[in-house]
Amino acid sequence: MKTFFVIIIWILSLNTGCNTSDSINNQEPPSGQTHQLEVEVLAKDLENPWSIAFLPDGRMLIAERPGRLRFFENGQLSAPISGLPPIWQNGQGGLLEVALHPEHENNGWIYLGYASSIDGQKGNTAIGRAKLEGSTLVDFEQLFWGTPLTDLTYHFGCRIVFDGQNRLYFPIGDRGEMENAQKLSNHNGKLMRIHDDGRIPLDNPFVGEDNARPEIYNYGHRNIQGMAIHPETGEIWTHEHGPRGGDEINIEKPGANYGWPIVTFGINYDGTTITNDTTLPGITDPIHYWVPSIAPCGMCFVTSDKYPNWKNNLIVTALAGQQIQRLTLSGAQVVNTEKLLQGYARFRDIRQGPDGYLYVLTERPGQLIRLKPID
């Protein structure tokens, strides 16, 4: 059964400048920028839902981390879809992403990001694709598997976005070994780029470089869990988890080094220092960061007319912060942030649907919700 309630949203903090802390500059809400929202609960009892994709026939695909992919149709969740590859559910690992090929209506390809292991002891993030026949995935192909394999249970990434040439981008976190993020000989702590069939683009920045993995697009990341294409520039925007503080928003450039762990605005969880540097020569700085950490996860740009005051705003969902943040942009600068639905749940993913509304996946409780402006 659907349930409804109304939440009044107020702007709680206003940030200016490129590198600003989320904890400063509290001001009154600018008039006309906020929306009153109706939160529509569409589905309940999801277990660690991670990702949403919208099929052309109006159904949704919802990926749950324990290794289930389900349809949502006519207000109902289906039984799990069969034919998935073996999913390594281990710590933060599991089924982490579902995405449609930009030409899905013609080729039927559905892409998955998931943790994979041969022996159940060590593994890493993998990318695969398949097609749907009824409620079964068929013609599955594994396109990529990150190296090295490790028994550590965190920082798997993973999101998938496609550019205008149907190349797909996806991240793997540092897998709990921070020094890997600065080593081009492995995939961990990197953003990768491959063709839609798994081939490596010949113009990838490290193709042909000794001891470098050719799939790497850039490096120096801790754990990217949000990606979106900017609706006007076509650039890839990401956010990633810092340690204790230092979550970042970055614009992804080929060959760039984003600094982890040699620069960070965060500290270790035990309060000790990782580094005293927040920037260095040759490092690409974030356009925005959060201190204290909010643990950002999903992100999307608002392009529909359903939220007229939010056009081209960036929306970020947060886990530890238990909030959604709306970021107003001026070019590549974050000039304003608004906190939404604080304390409602751990927010895992957000996507703009074909109908123009924002759809959100939450944890604790595990729900699919839709945000509808009523003003």
Q: pLDDT tens digits for 236-287?
A: 999 999 999 999 999 999 999 999 999 999 999 999 999 999 999 999 999 9
- pLDDT for residue 44 is more than 90: yes
Distance CA 38, CA 33 (A): 16
- The residue annotated as part of the active site, out of 35, 104, 155, 239, is 155
* pLDDT at residue 34 in the model: 79
CATH of the domain at 27: 2.120.10.30
* pLDDT at residue 18 in the model: 34
Query: How many residues are present in the chain?
Result: 375
Mean pLDDT of the chain: 92
Distance CA 125, CA 71 (A): 24
Beta bridge partners of 346: 363
271: tokens are 């309060």
* pLDDT at residue 364 in the model: 87
Find the mean pLDDT for residues 174-198: 98
Distance CA 357, CA 195 (A): 30
Distance CA 162, CA 104 (A): 12
pLDDT level of residue 33 (50, 70, 90 thresholds): low
Could you tell me if 344 and 362 are in contact, meaning their C-beta atoms sit under 8 angstroms apart?
Answer: yes
pLDDT level of residue 29 (50, 70, 90 thresholds): very low
> Is 221 known to be catalytic?
no
79: tokens are 């039984």
Domain that holds residue 23: 3-373
| Amino acid present at 58 | G
* pLDDT at residue 25 in the model: 29
**Longest Cα separation, the chain:** 58
Find the mean pLDDT for residues 190-206: 98
* pLDDT at residue 35 in the model: 84
Find the mean pLDDT for residues 107-135: 97
Q: Which residue has the tokens 């039984």?
A: 79
* pLDDT at residue 17 in the model: 32
pLDDT level of residue 12 (50, 70, 90 thresholds): very low
Percent of the chain whose pLDDT exceeds 70 = 91
Find the mean pLDDT for residues 128-157: 98
The full 3-state SS of 178-242, as one line of letters, equals HHHHHCCCCCCCEEEEECCCCCCCCCCCCCCCCCCCCCEEEECCCCEEEEEECCCCCCEEEEECC
Considering its fold, how many domains does the chain have in total?
Answer: 1
- pLDDT for residue 7 is more than 60: no
Please provide residue 82's backbone torsions phi and psi, each rounded to the nearest 5 degrees: -90, 170
